Structure 1
Amino acid sequence: MADKLLALPRITIGDEDYRFHAAHPDRGLMKHEAVPGGSTVLERFMMKILTESSPWSSRLGVRHRADNPIPEKKTHVTETQTIYTTHTRRQAGLQTTSNPAAEELANARPMMSGWETTLGPDRRMILSSHRILKLGTWNIRTLYQAGKLENVSREMSRYNLEILGLSEVRWDNSGEHKLQSGQKLLYSGFQTQQKVHTHGVGLLLSNAASKSLISWTPHGHRILEATFRTQQKRIKLKIILAYAPTNDATAEDKDDFYDQLDNITTKNKNSKDISMLIGDLNAKVGADNTGIEQVMGREGLGTRNDNGERLVDFCTRQDMVIGGTIFPHKDIHKATWISPDERTKNQIDHICISKKFRNTLLDVKARRGADADTDHYLVTAKLQLKLKRIQKPTQTRIKYDTRKLQNENIKQQFILTLRNRFEALNDDVGNIQIDESDINEPWNKIKEVINKTSKDILGPLSYEIKPWISEESLLLIEERRKIKENILSANEIDKQTLNEEYRKYNKEIKKSVRRDKRRYTENLANEAEEAMKKNNLRELYMTTKKLCGKTNQTSSKHIRDKDGKLIDNDKDTEARWVEHFSALLNRPAPANPAIITPAETNLDINCSAPTIEEIKSAIKGLKNNKAAGPDNITAEILKADVNLSAEILFPIIHKIWSNETFPDDWKNGCIKTLVDKSSIRGG
């Protein structure tokens, strides 16, 4: 609230306002931009608080420099790349604008002690360290089909998988796609403007797994790489998802694939990391492990082919073990592919792991019950992997459902409750003798009452998820899955009848899903039309975004050094942020400083404390639909009753004005990192 009400991130210099933004260091996005402004109570308030010397003589004149000690600045980053900055005084030589007059004025106005910029961890939970991690790989033949991704997502949830590697995704380009269920798909395909829709790989992550993701890199239409945090700070889980050429492909294609795979695996290789290779490798390794006992066991299926020899050679070079050949299972739980006539079964989908962490892998097994209209079986693995738990922030951000204030009855109830709770509090705040140490006490009381009222009347904001697939389609998918289970245990005579029934259900599912998709699209179009009629641009934009099927093209919040190398070490990340802000904020003084002549006459500027009418005007000028600060108080809450809000804030603002001391909450601001999209483009 404070950064909006009192315009703390904005400093008025001359006839212009300056706002400051921070972003990704590689793109140099911390910048300042001038916004036309004028002299208001908010600007006077801000300048008075920033001033510790005599009052200004002119709005454009230069004030006398105060004798302040050399400032100190500390900048550090948590393991979630959250930035914390603390200033005790404006540092010598600190430049925040290219305007010479503004520079001189800024140097003459040192910042008060205690200012800090903080942002709590944005990944509040990751993969649990108290249970077995389950991951899998599956060739699903295509995701370029209505309803297929939702089908695969449901099967992933049914088998409690945190990470699922997908082959033959058939999505072009690369990026991220967030599902309504909270799962996230990282995909990599042909990097072209033309529609190819062949090959392609994808990594489907649960909500918890996506929060432990450090980084991911697409490598064309056959390989995708992702890195995750583990329980040990120095050990990371590196997963390489690959879709190899078939055994009938040319030797040149196979050589190119394994050369690329070798380069990716070797690059930035760390012996402490857990490296895994998963996917449809189209390789039959067989059961004979003579001479290669360190690479595979005797539980393989079939006879080794050319692709199998290449996979064994690769695992030998990279010190990996083929997990599907280690654990004893029935042959039906080893085969990962079945021919259309159901007579030939092969083991061509694999999960491999670093030899050093062989004991981490507990089991690898094919799951025949998973159904997504594909000739491959889902292959799952269990790992006793403990992933790092990130400490939750002490102050949890809460979004209140301010949309309820549009209901007049709820709005009146909110105003009445808030007014009743402040009847006694206003007297306490107004009569307290405040010095620099206890300014937080009255503000905390105000914040507590506003938050308690918002929680009781408005409640937290909840997003209603409306799946576009109808219940009818979901029931058909479930019936098809049951038929597949019957096929697995039926005799040859009954299989023909069941296969016909399976194909019949498959056709009905495709028709039903396409019908659901059309209905969903039409409903979104109607919602967009209604929003446009009501001039609700926010709703129109959100609906249009859904209608266009726009996917999230950003990557995880990792950064790179000056050479473009990915940083995944917390200490190096912290040093990189310090380096970035030190170079950005500490710039040399201009060679030819500007000469500013004093003003001939002093301007008549009202420096008295803001009146209640000015506070009301400031509250009315707040923009809606903006994120709250650490106090969780939004503009909509204050604007529910402008008169009441002004009455509540008037005493404490006057105390702040006279004492020139801010509450701690008002010194907190957020620096948000932005991802350079070019860093996730694959080749």
Structure 2
Amino acid sequence: MERRKVDILCVQETRWKVSKAHSIGAGFKLFYYGVDSKRNGVGVVLKEEFVRNVLEVKRVSDRVMSLKLEIEGVMLNVVSGYAPQVGCELEEKERFWSELDEVMESIPMGERVVIGADFNGHVGEENTGDEEVMGKFGVKERNLEGQMVVDFAKRMDMAVINTYFQKREEHRVTYKSGGRRTQKLRQALGGQLVLPDDWETTVEVIRETGRKVLGVSSGRRKEDKETWWWNEEVQDSIQRKRLAKKKWDMDRTEENRQEYKKSQRRVKREVSKAKQKAYDELYTRLDTRE
């Protein structure tokens, strides 16, 4: 982390037992979770200067954990994940994705998310039909585990960032012995990049990835959406509306359209109720509407 000037690092397969946070020297602090010293375990390492910015730590399981930080007014959620290997039972794989879904659904709209994970799969080199979530520089052919990554990215409106640029062969191989080579998917969803050594190339990669994934803005600044009065009901209804919108975008049936419209009306009702409740409580504390 010192050599590469990394401030936040997600680690997997740590095999560290119990739940702790402690300094590990050189100005870094480790947050981790594990239940068995022989398998699994996930963690997040932070530069000490950002530790005071940590608002919440969620240790979901020995395969999924997340940290919420506030940095210069921006809410950043960092999720560390370790997907079951190819040979594991389907039930274990489904449990991992269910846990990851729950973490994502608990994050309010407007907050930024980066997932640094070992997904143990191949999204493949072919991206036809999946251009909105991945580029053409994946690895080998897509397998079941890779398809799960692509499906998750679509559900959450994210992108597999390091498939948008080409990597050198030595950066694509994760294990080599004799004439055998293994290429395993260690991807980042949202915003983490595996960067080339050359700075000019790095800058162009970031710009091009930003254009492809985020688009180009008009340049006019938008006012931040007022969200201080949001509650769980509002967040839940907004998440349901997002899922309904994605379903409508993927399959434009009348049933899906009606469900999306229904979810929009539900959000309006919940927003109105939450606003009124929040202002009533504010007026009570102030003893006057004026």
Same fold, TM exceeding 0.5?
A: yes
Which amino acid counterpart does residue 247 of structure 1 have in structure 2?
A: V
Matches of 1:242 and 1:362, distance apart in 2:
14
* Structure 1 Cα separation of the partners of residues 98 and 192 of structure 2: 30
Inter-partner Cα distance in structure 1 for 2:135 and 2:147: 15
Matching residue within 195, 219, 222 for 2:60: 219
- The one-letter code sitting in structure 2 at the alignment partner of 1:296 is M
SS in structure 1 of the partner of residue 79 of structure 2: strand
Pick the aligned partner of 2:94 from 248, 251, 255. Answer: 255
Deviation at 1:382, TM superposition (A): 7.5
SS in 2 for 1:203: strand
SS in 2 for 1:349: coil
1:222-621 superposed matches below 5 A: 222-231=63-72, 233=73, 235-270=74-109, 272-335=110-173, 337-341=174-178, 343-353=180-190, 361=191, 363-365=193-195
Structure 2 partner of 1:180 = 25
Q: Distance in 1 between matches of 2:37 and 2:192?
A: 39
Greater fraction strand: 2
Alpha carbons 1:333, 1:365 under 8 Å: kept: no
Change (3 A) 1:278 1:168: same
Say which SS state the counterpart of residue 258 (structure 1) adopts.
helix
* Counterpart among 200, 215, 218 of residue 41 in structure 2: 200
Q: Which amino acid aligns with 2:61?
A: G
For 1:45-93, what per-residue CA distance to the aligned partner results, in whole angstroms no more than 9, with x for missing partners?
Answer: xxxxxxxxxxxxxxxxxxxxxxxxxxxxxxxxxxxxxxxxxxxxxxxxx
Q: Secondary structure at the match of 2:103?
A: helix
Deviations 1:229-269 (A, max 9, x none): 233x3x41111110000011111111111111111111133
Amino acid of the structure 2 residue aligned with 1:163: I
User: Which stretches of structure 1, 4 residues or more, deviate above 6 A after TM superposition?
Assistant: none
Runs of 5+ consecutive residues of structure 1 not aligned to the other structure: 1-155, 354-360, 368-380, 384-562, 564-574, 583-683
Q: What's the TM-score once normalised by structure 2's chain length?
A: 0.64
SS in 1 for 2:10: strand
How far is 1:342 from its partner?
A: 6.0
CA distance in structure 1 between the aligned counterparts of 2:67 and 2:144, rounded to whole angstroms: 28
Q: Deviations over 1:471-510 (max 9, x none)?
A: xxxxxxxxxxxxxxxxxxxxxxxxxxxxxxxxxxxxxxxx
**Paired AA for residue 8 in structure 2:** I
User: CA offset at residue 214 of structure 1?
Assistant: 2.2
Separation in 1 of the partners of 2:30 and 2:100? 22
Q: Is the 8 A contact 1:324 1:334 kept in 2?
A: no
Query: Take 1:362 and 1:315, find their aligned partners in 2: how far apart are those partners?
Result: 14
Question: Any conservation in 2 of the 1:327–1:363 contact (CA below 8 Å)?
Answer: no
Contact kept, 8 Å, 1:247 with 1:307, in 2: the verdict is yes
Distance 2:179 2:53 in 1: 40
The change in CA–CA distance for 1:324 and 1:182 in structure 2 (over 3 A counts) is same
Letter in 2 for 1:171: W
- Alpha-carbon offset, residue 362 of structure 1: 8.1
Q: Matched residues in 1 for 2:20 and 2:179: separation?
A: 36
| Matched residue SS, 1:228 | strand
- Report the CA distance between 1:187 and its aligned residue: 0.3
Q: Is the 2:139–2:185 contact (alpha carbons within 8 Å) kept by the matching residues of 1?
A: no
Q: Distance in 1 between matches of 2:31 and 2:121?
A: 24
**SS state of the match for residue 108, structure 2?**
coil
- Distance (whole Å) between structure 1 residues aligned to residue 69 and residue 14 of structure 2: 22
Q: 1:228 Cα deviation (Å)?
A: 1.6
AA matched with 1:236: M
Contact 1:285–1:309, Cα closer than 8 Å, also in 2: yes
Identity of aligned residues (%): 27
CA shift at 1:311, angstroms? 0.6
Q: Larger relative CO (CA 8 A, sep 6+): 1 or 2?
A: 1
Cα distance, 1:180–1:334 mapped onto 2, change above 3 Å: same
The one-letter code sitting in structure 1 at the alignment partner of 2:82 is: Y
What is the RMSD computed on CA atoms of the aligned residues? 3.0
Conserved in 2, the CA contact under 8 Å of 1:300 and 1:347? Answer: no
Equivalent pairs, count? 207
Structure 1 CA distance, aligned partners of 2:193 and 2:64?
24
Larger Cα-atom Rg: 1
